[in-house]
Amino acid sequence: MIGIIDYGCGNVGSVQNMFSKIGIWSEKIAKPENLTDYSGIVLPGVGAFDTGARRLKSTGFWDALKQFVEVDQKPILGICLGMQLFFEGSDEGSEAGFGWLPGNVQKFSASESLRIPHMSWNAVDFKSPRYTDLTANNFYFVHAYHAPANLDPMYVLGTTLYGEMFPSAVEHNNITGFQFHPEKSLVYGMELLKRWNLIHLEK
């Protein structure tokens, strides 16, 4: 069963609804001690990096997630801010991230022709053969910060062009992250979440 972390910084209901539409059972998790009941976890997120990190720490989810991911080696999916929290930190704030992925999240470079935040549908160029056969790759983005542009290719699952090329999907062992919102990406998001579930939970 999939658990969705409810820490006050994410579209938990939308994520749960999307899993329901594709026939995958999920539950909201409001207590960190309940993480052990689940085979996979989704960490959604909207808003500022520091706010998300502090909420996870104050609610007890921070240490519980470290146990789940680092010790138990169970799969986790981060969405938007949830993915950004996987990194060491962010240029947006001063709080430390989980450090599961190297580097700091960075802001889009300012440009007269580039609207920030990046708020639109955009394509993802998937690098892994486990995802390249998806029938469509158009997803909905809302963000002003992104994963490090120079991220080691071993962690890059997909890239997107918006003024500059940036990693829009990351993956390393049991850790997966999407900068875009699959729960808002209609049939494309449904297919992608099905694939993540198949790869990490039904293997």
Residues with active-site annotation: 80, 181, 183
Q: Phi first, then psi: what are they for 112, rounded to 5°?
A: -65, -30
The angle subtended at Cα 6 by Cα 104 and Cα 67, nearest 5°, is 60
Residue whose C-alpha is closest to residue 130's, from 167, 176, 84, 87: 176
For 145-178, give one letter per residue: b (16+ CB within 10 A) or e.
bbbbeebeeebbbbbbebeeebbbbbbbebbbbb
Q: Directed axis angle between helix 12-21 and helix 186-200, to 10°?
A: 80
DSSP lists the bridge partners of residue 107 as 145
Cβ atoms of 142 and 119 closer than 8 Å: yes
> H/E element holding 14?
helix 12-21
